[in-house]
């Protein structure tokens, strides 16, 4: 069989590098272009020496038309505001696209424009874009021209919430998401606060009011619940490890949730995700740990009922660059091109 | 002036070691006995080589009577259930005591016995014991015979909540405490889950229902609020660093809280803690970071108002072995013996 | 094609877990038995939760005869002294074997018995065993019944030294190997010195006289140089990271080494390893970094000439569990069973 | 007693911050000026939040004349080439000076100019400057106007070598220093290679030929040995921790070293450093660990004899910002101003 030609625009950030790692191991993919404005002309393995001998391709600054024409799929790892201008060019030139920015994740234009403080140059694509969580939008991915790869916090949060939102089991006014990310979430950059000696032993909240991922979670949570305008609280924290993300979510059971118990919550997860390769619905009282999903596309979920306060506590752990970004994009790619979703993606990190 | 004679029972755990470090730097203290069942006969600096040349005292297994008689203050760093039997002996023999276990932290006997699943052999001491947060119980510490040093999570949580509980500004039914501790909180022990290769890159929740510190926080929160039987949600997490603790707290403002805003929350903290050396009420929108209090007795607090959800978010950071344990005990010691509270305690870690 | 049946004896240590990870990704392998005395009856993924969903096989305590009869290859990850008794049983029952202990790494019985302070119950196997560095003993691996997988320090050291020893370019009396290992090298165990709070921020030498790997390196160095009884100095250190190993080697050029220079050293490496997939002979003046080989079977080498002292400095970096143990065993397996040596082994860790 | 007025020029780098931490705890010091070009006008505790409440002084850009006139001691933490111009101004204006650059560490002008590739504007000060290791130059420090605070690697190496060099016990042609530094040694800067995600899990050699500290060690080693032009090999490595340094040193015993043994080496250390507070000559076969000196001015030394190769191996561990920089400067200050050398300096880090 011919291999699918995949190009990556903005290949030299951390998401780009994880895309390269993932696609390199995919049996049906040929990496075509790795583009980079800053590093054009350099070997990819000079930028990321870990790839010496496995990806010594030159980064290029090839124009988008050419990239699109010579690729079956283009994955864009660009800043928001840049993607919204680039993606339409790629689509016009015949490529299918998976985009990593926030630019195509919203259905509601106003929410996007308010959250990102930008005018969208191609709002007509919002309706067409498929929100790239395969577990939720698998069917639409098959024929999707444009996939908006979800934010890391939204993926982690929504996959923990989905079984309860879909079944109407939680009071949607009561949701609080407390989440933690590894440092790679901030991207690859020269910046004093992210220097080793500044980050080591740091643990701190940031973006505690109005973080952009809040509205992204809210819109998708509304779709899952079949209810308009869910508002929820979201508080991200930065932790001293490279990769990994954990969400701890608080919510009150709705009146529909009869006989709430830790056992029930566990059963709901087990049942909802029973056919999902990448979702580990953990055994009763076993809780997620970022260590266990690090370097993989797996996500772990579980929850408990705290009867003293009447609150449900839900937990999910993923790799922010894995299921939270690049590897989920490859899972979506598999869905788009008709491969088994775990093709080339069943690796774990080991010790 | 004669130095105060201080002994530590159970000196070889992490809290014990931090007590030694703190008291060594205190200008008015003479360390008398460092007792240890497991390490009696060994030099303290053989157990903790970091103390070579500064604390080469032999650990002993001296009987409690002798320790008490020859000391002005005895600090016990013993497991719960052991402290409750040991402390009375020390007091009878004339020593003042600061205890680090949960055994004397509660006023309500039933809550203690339910939380710790133990019968208390000396419930008569519960009333007498002073809960050792100097910022709240300074006056009672002066003449206290017995100080119950608070749990690490309770100190971190209560100091963030106090200004709002005291002024009745939050709905006490709405409190959720999401907290994170460094690994030293688990103590010094041979245990596979705490081995370096198992803990590195871990981030996970634990004890998510019924953690003992919940009831300790609840009882003190009730006292601060002047309200009976507050129940709140508490979720601890384990993070991959040795020392440090952060609490992120969610609550709804009460009707009494007029014109809630981030600015108001900040002013309340600044005002409430304006005379407190160890409490850093941070500037508007500056958030706590465990790195900045690591190795010290400082605690940082601040908060924001999230108007989209109507929730208040409060944050506090401390060192779990510092303000969360041993160094707060030394602050209490200063209050007990009439020293300025920051005597010997104004150090920070630096880079 | 039928898959090769591979079993692992002692599968639940860190080397075992890395073997499982590696073989799981091998397209021509079926994992048959994972045996463990301590964990028999438990799912492998309960011991290593990172494998949930990818290796949920039960660990067994199957007798060695059965394991051998039902497997094409048995990999033993057992302590020395145990391997020497177990491996012969496996071979007698028809399996080919790769052993991870020191028991079959020596040709000279006396050196083994002195180094390991053990009498060898099956010295007749020493001659037959192939020392499992494929880059050196590829041809013998093809028909090997028994492969002695090398020690981590020996692999790292010998691959840096080989081009110079083989060509007689260094004074074999002048060799000093200064090396550093990550913590996983100590194995999976409950042990206070390896607890997170004890290991974090540690950097220290250990085993500085008479470390067993010294004689293993010496014997193989002697073979490479075609010279008897090379003695060299070896000093291992422990560093605060899970995986990874670096060797810094000092030696004087021999009289045969004309016009020594950094450029020459680099050329020698490039030439010697030009056909080796897993050996990265780095570009001139680019030096190895453990980060870049972590989680892979790659090894990096390079060197410089310090004309002020007349010393050659050689550097090599590998993953102690990768090229230093489990992944090199899989490379050897590929050589034994006629696969391309990088089959299933071309992955790298990424960011 | 009047306090000594101390100012720090270049106070906002990591050495500067450690100087501030150390001097803050000194009972006889008043911090006068903290100068910084980049951060003038900002509170020191805004740059280093860890100092909130203990050092909220404003950084200034005060001219050097004023700083010198109003201070008893000025400590300069400036780049080389800048110090050589600044220090003379300070001295002319009446201040005593401790300088942290390489500009005044050499007696031999040519060696300095070759090593630093700079012409020295004030070579007349080289003779006058005292090399600031108090254990070696205590007497000269008393009246020193200018102290050249040693490099971190030189301190660590020389203190391990001194007893053997002074007694002529090692062959000075055989010395090899293999050393490791924590990341803070690279200073506080925005630089991609020192970003958290790039440094984490890194271990690598750097500056492996011609590192400047080589000539600094050589000159001082020559003085200690009373022998001209010692040349030695030096190889630094970067390790993934903030603070700490370890040197592993190889040398051959000279003919004068009768009956070399590990015991003898240990006795020599114990004897040579018997009166030194900050030098821990460890017990027989106990080896240094950076963890144990981290955050302090202590340095640990010990050694072994490897009879198989006839080599001596010496080990030393210190904190690169402690005994390797800022805290040693404060020890020198104590010597300069007639205080006990450990005044304000006997703290250790603890757990």
pLDDT tens-digit series, residues C234-280: 999 999 999 999 999 999 999 999 999 999 999 999 999 999 999 99
Based on its alpha-carbon atoms, the radius of gyration of chain A, rounded to whole angstroms, reads 20
Mean pLDDT of chain B: 97
pLDDT of the residue at C301: 98
What the block records as the tokens of A65 is 């038309």
CA dist., res. D351 & res. B183, Å (int)? 11
Residue D205 sits at the chain C interface (C-beta within 8 Å):
yes
Mean pLDDT of chain C: 97
CB contact under 8 A, B176 and A240: no
Closest residue of chain D to A201, computed from CA coordinates: D242
D5 C-beta neighbours (distance < 10 Å), count:
16
Sheet with D73-76, side-by-side order of all strands: D29-35, D4-9, D73-76, D96-99, D146-148, D130-131
Q: Are A331 and A141 in contact (CB under 8 A)?
A: no
Distance from CA of A110 to the nearest CA of D (A): 35
Residue B234's nearest CA partner among B158, B148, B334 is B158
Q: Which chains touch B (3 or more CB pairs under 8 A)?
A: A, C, D
Could you report the predicted ipTM of this complex, rounded to two decimals? 0.97
Among B188, B195, B203, the strongest candidate for a mutation testing the C interface, having the largest count of C CBs within 10 A, is B195
What the block records as the tokens of D113 is 């100019």
What the block records as the tokens of B263 is 């600015």
pLDDT band at C61 (very low <50, low <70, confident <90, very high): very high
SS3 state at A221: helix
CA dist., res. A297 & res. A320, Å (int)? 9
D residues 158..177 contacting C (CB < 8 A): 176
Residue A298 sits at the chain C interface (C-beta within 8 Å):
yes
Residue A240 sits at the chain D interface (C-beta within 8 Å):
yes
Q: Are C272 and C303 in contact (CB under 8 A)?
A: no
Distance from CA of C225 to the nearest CA of D (A): 18
pLDDT in tens, chain D (351 residues): 689 999 999 999 999 999 999 999 999 999 999 999 999 999 999 999 999 999 999 999 999 999 999 999 999 999 999 999 999 999 999 999 999 999 999 999 999 999 999 999 999 999 999 999 999 999 999 999 999 999 999 999 999 999 999 999 999 999 999 999 999 999 999 999 999 999 999 999 999 999 999 999 999 999 999 999 999 999 999 999 999 999 999 999 999 999 999 999 999 999 999 999 999 999 999 999 999 999 999 999 999 999 999 999 999 999 999 999 999 999 999 999 999 999 999 999 999
What the block records as the tokens of A23 is 């696609």
Distance from CA of D39 to the nearest CA of A (A): 14
CB contact under 8 A, B351 and D277: no
CB contact under 8 A, A309 and B232: yes
Q: Are D158 and D224 in contact (CB under 8 A)?
A: yes
Q: What are phi and psi of A142, to 5 degrees?
A: -50, -45
Residue C114 sits at the chain B interface (C-beta within 8 Å):
no
pLDDT band at A41 (very low <50, low <70, confident <90, very high): very high
Over range C15-42, report the average pLDDT: 97
Q: Are C49 and A292 in contact (CB under 8 A)?
A: yes
Residue that is written with structure tokens 């045996």 in the block: C35
Among D13, D196, D202, D238, the strongest candidate for a mutation testing the A interface, having the largest count of A CBs within 10 A, is D196
Residue A205's nearest CA partner among C238, C94, B314 is B314
Distance from CA of B80 to the nearest CA of A (A): 24
CB contact under 8 A, B280 and D53: yes
Residue that is written with structure tokens 């500037």 in the block: B283
Express each pLDDT in A226-268 by its tens digit. Answer: 999 999 999 999 999 999 999 999 999 999 999 999 999 999 9
A residues 33..62 contacting B (CB < 8 A): none
pLDDT of the residue at B1: 67
Among the partner residues C197, C208, C308, nearest to D287 by beta-carbon distance: C208
Residue A286 sits at the chain B interface (C-beta within 8 Å):
no
**Chain B, chain D: beta-carbon pairs less than 8 Å apart:** 95
pLDDT of the residue at B265: 98
pLDDT of the residue at D97: 98
Cβ-based neighbours of B267, under 8 Å, separated by 6 or more? none
Residue C170's nearest CA partner among C94, C91, C288, C265 is C265
pLDDT of the residue at A109: 98
Over range A150-173, report the average pLDDT: 98
Among D197, D241, D244, the strongest candidate for a mutation testing the A interface, having the largest count of A CBs within 10 A, is D197
CB contact under 8 A, B205 and A287: yes
DSSP letters, B220-247, are: HHHHHHT-S----EEEEEE-SSSS-EEE
Residue B351 sits at the chain C interface (C-beta within 8 Å):
no
CA dist., res. A171 & res. D258, Å (int)? 83
Closest residue of chain A to D182, computed from CA coordinates: A197
Residue D135's nearest CA partner among D301, D321, D305, D304 is D301
Q: Could you give the percent of chain D with pLDDT greater than 90?
A: 99
Distance from CA of D79 to the nearest CA of A (A): 19
Closest residue of chain B to D187, computed from CA coordinates: B351
Distance from CA of C191 to the nearest CA of D (A): 17
Distance from CA of C65 to the nearest CA of D (A): 42
Q: What are phi and psi of C199, to 5 degrees?
A: -85, -30
CB contact under 8 A, C200 and B195: no
CA dist., res. D154 & res. A193, Å (int)? 30
**Chain C, chain D: beta-carbon pairs less than 8 Å apart:** 142
Assess whether pLDDT exceeds 90 at residue A162: yes
Over range A99-125, report the average pLDDT: 98
Among the partner residues A24, A321, A347, nearest to C25 by beta-carbon distance: A347
CB contact under 8 A, B197 and C200: no
Residues of A in contact with B231 (CB under 8 A): 308-309
Over range C163-184, report the average pLDDT: 98
Among the partner residues D200, D239, D308, nearest to C203 by beta-carbon distance: D239
CA dist., res. D198 & res. A195, Å (int)? 9
Among A13, A182, A195, the strongest candidate for a mutation testing the D interface, having the largest count of D CBs within 10 A, is A195
Q: Could you give the percent of chain B with pLDDT greater than 90?
A: 99
CA dist., res. A148 & res. B251, Å (int)? 34
CB contact under 8 A, D209 and C262: yes
CB contact under 8 A, C242 and B196: yes
Which H or E run contains A224? helix A213-225
Among the partner residues A188, A189, A196, nearest to D199 by beta-carbon distance: A196
Count of residues for chain D?
Answer: 351
Residue D245's nearest CA partner among B242, C208, A200, C204 is C204
Please say if D55 is a catalytic residue.
Answer: no
């Amino acid at each position: 069989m011919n291999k699918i030609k995949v190009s990556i625009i903005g290949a030299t950030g951390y998401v780009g590098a994880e895309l390269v790692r993932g696609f390199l191991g995919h049996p049906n993919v040929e990496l075509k272009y790795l583009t980079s404005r800053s590093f054009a002309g350099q070997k990819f393995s000079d930028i990321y020496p870990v790839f010496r001998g496995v990806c010594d391709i030159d980064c290029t600054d090839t124009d988008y038309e050419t990239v699109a024409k010579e690729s079956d799929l283009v994955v864009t790892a660009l800043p928001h505001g840049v993607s919204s201008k680039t993606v339409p060019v790629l689509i016009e030139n015949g490529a299918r696209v998976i985009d990593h920015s926030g630019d195509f994740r919203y259905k509601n234009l106003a929410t996007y424009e308010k959250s990102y403080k930008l005018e969208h140059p191609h709002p007509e694509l919002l309706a067409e874009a498929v929100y790239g969580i395969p577990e939720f939008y698998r069917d639409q991915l098959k024929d999707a021209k444009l996939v908006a790869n979800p934010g890391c916090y939204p993926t982690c949060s929504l996959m923990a919430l989905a079984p309860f939102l879909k079944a109407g089991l939680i009071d949607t006014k009561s949701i609080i998401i407390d989440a933690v990310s590894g440092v790679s979430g901030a991207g690859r950059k020269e910046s004093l606060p992210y220097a080793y000696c500044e980050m080591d032993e740091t643990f701190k909240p940031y973006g505690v009011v109005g973080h952009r991922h809040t509205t992204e979670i809210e819109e998708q949570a509304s779709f899952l619940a079949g209810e308009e305008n869910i508002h929820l609280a979201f508080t991200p924290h930065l932790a001293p490890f490279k990769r990994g993300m954990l969400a701890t979510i608080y919510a009150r059971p709705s009146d529909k949730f009869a006989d709430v118990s830790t056992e029930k919550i566990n059963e709901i997860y087990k049942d909802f995700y029973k056919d999902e390769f990448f979702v580990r619905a953990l055994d009763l009282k076993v809780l997620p740990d970022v260590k266990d999903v690090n370097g993989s596309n797996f996500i772990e979920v579980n929850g408990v009922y705290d009867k003293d306060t009447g609150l449900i506590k839900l937990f999910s752990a993923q790799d922010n660059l894995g299921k939270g970004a690049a590897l989920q994009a490859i899972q979506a790619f598999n869905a788009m091109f008709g491969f088994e979703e775990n093709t080339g993606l069943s690796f774990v990190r080991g010790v």
